[in-house]
């Protein structure tokens, strides 16, 4: 199947990034969100990020204008029904994702492929709530989408090879690289990354080091571009906790138990950069460690 029109559900950080790369690659994009304010903010973010690419010589001003012209927005989920491919990029909560797919299904063309940008939730289980499990896949982009090269492709138990091959071609057209993962909790990237972040939080919780010393150790001692606590703030501590809970519940192994300090930060609403406070306080000119 030839994919030309793409529907993106959710206009947050991931949804806007996904719309950005698809529009630049020549796809027609229809982005939806329940909030018009979120849609307006997403368009402004996409324009700003494309302008940054223009200033760095990555794309031309003509490329930017053409790509922005290919993005439309709507608050009506049903409007996405005629798209060839739909990518759900809503909150990392299974009940929310299931409700979106159940609302979408009556409006879809028979050949439409459904995908989820979930970073950890079972693709097989999400697919089972639709009328087309063979045309359903995990399509997991990394944040920030315009910069990161990897896309995880996750097949559910019923996903057809035709669906997988179609999405493989889409990833190639985006100029990104695909990694195939089996449908187990958190797939590949987050199965390895999140326990590392959780262990860094335990290291802080147990007083082995403070925020600054933990991040400095991994940056200079393991050559990581960002420290694990800085990275957790960038991802969002609520997202980190949600993925750790999926790992803990899905694999029933105590090594995936979320650190109580991570839970405490999320309970406080200190979710990282997006709320102004996490393991660092971002409200001043320079981020300051909170522990």
Please say if 152 is a catalytic residue. yes
120 is catalytic: no
198 annotated as ligand-binding: no
Strand extents, DSSP E, the chain: 5-9, 28-32, 71-74, 85-88, 113-116, 136-141, 150-155, 177-181, 280-281, 288-289
| Residue 196 labeled ligand binder | no
Which one-letter DSSP state was computed for residue 70?
Answer: T
Q: Is 272 annotated as a binding residue?
A: no
Instruction: Find out whether 12 is annotated in a ligand binding site.
Output: yes
Query: Does 69 show up as a binding residue in the annotation?
Result: no
Catalytic residue among 88, 94, 152, 230: 152
Q: Is 143 marked within a binding site?
A: yes
Cα-to-chain-centroid distance, residue 238: 13
Please classify residue 44 by burial: count the beta carbons closer than 10 Å to its beta carbon, then call 0-12 exposed, 13-18 middle and 19+ buried: exposed
Catalytic residue among 116, 119, 120, 198: 119
119 is catalytic: yes
Catalytic residue among 117, 140, 198, 230: 140
Query: What order of strands is seen across the sheet that includes strand 150-155?
Result: 71-74, 28-32, 5-9, 85-88, 113-116, 136-141, 150-155, 177-181
97 labelled ligand-binding: yes
- Cα(113)–Cα(2) distance, rounded to whole angstroms? 11
Residue 248 annotated to the active site? no
Cα–Cα distances in Å, from 209 out to 200, 271, 278? 9, 21, 17
Q: What angle do CA 239, 194, 231 make, to 5 degrees?
A: 70
33 is in an annotated binding site: yes
Question: Is 19 annotated as belonging to a binding site?
Answer: no
Which of the following is catalytic: 120, 190, 198, 230? Answer: 190
Q: Measured between alpha carbons, how far is 216 from 218 in angstroms, rounded to an integer? A: 6
Which token pair is 116?
Answer: 């989820």
Q: Is 210 annotated as a binding residue?
A: no
Q: Using CA atoms, how far apart are residues 111 and 109, in angstroms rounded to an integer? A: 5
Q: Which residues are part of the catalytic machinery?
A: 119, 140, 152, 190
Annotated binding-site residues for NAD(+) read 10-15, 33, 92, 97, 119, 143, 274
């Amino acid at each position: 199947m030839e994919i030309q029109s793409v529907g993106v559900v959710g206009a947050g950080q991931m949804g806007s990034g996904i719309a950005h790369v698809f529009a630049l690659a020549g796809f027609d994009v229809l982005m939806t969100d329940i909030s018009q304010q979120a849609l307006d903010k997403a368009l402004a973010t996409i324009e700003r990020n494309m302008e940054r690419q223009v200033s760095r010589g990555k794309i031309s001003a003509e490329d930017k204008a053409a790509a922005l012209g290919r993005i439309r927005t709507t608050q009506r989920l049903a409007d996405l029904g005629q798209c060839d491919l739909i990518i759900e990029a809503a909150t990392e909560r299974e009940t929310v994702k299931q409700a979106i797919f159940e609302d979408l299904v009556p409006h879809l063309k028979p050949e439409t492929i459904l995908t989820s940008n979930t970073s950890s939730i079972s693709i097989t289980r999400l697919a089972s709530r639709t009328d087309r499990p063979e045309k359903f896949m995990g399509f997991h982009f990394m944040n920030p989408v315009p910069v990161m090269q990897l896309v995880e492709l996750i097949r559910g138990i019923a996903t057809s090879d035709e669906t997988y091959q179609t999405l493989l071609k889409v990833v190639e057209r985006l100029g990104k690289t695909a990694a195939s993962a089996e449908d187990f909790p958190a797939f590949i990237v987050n199965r390895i990354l999140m326990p590392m972040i959780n262990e860094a939080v335990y290291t802080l919780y147990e007083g082995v080091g403070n925020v600054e010393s933990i991040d400095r150790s991994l940056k200079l001692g393991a050559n990581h571009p960002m420290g694990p606590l800085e990275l957790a703030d960038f991802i969002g501590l609520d997202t980190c906790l949600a993925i750790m809970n999926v790992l803990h519940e899905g694999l029933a192994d105590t090594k995936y138990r979320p650190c109580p300090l991570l839970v405490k930060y999320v309970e406080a609403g200190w979710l990282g950069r997006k709320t102004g406070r996490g393991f660092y306080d971002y409200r001043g000119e320079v981020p300051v460690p909170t522990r």
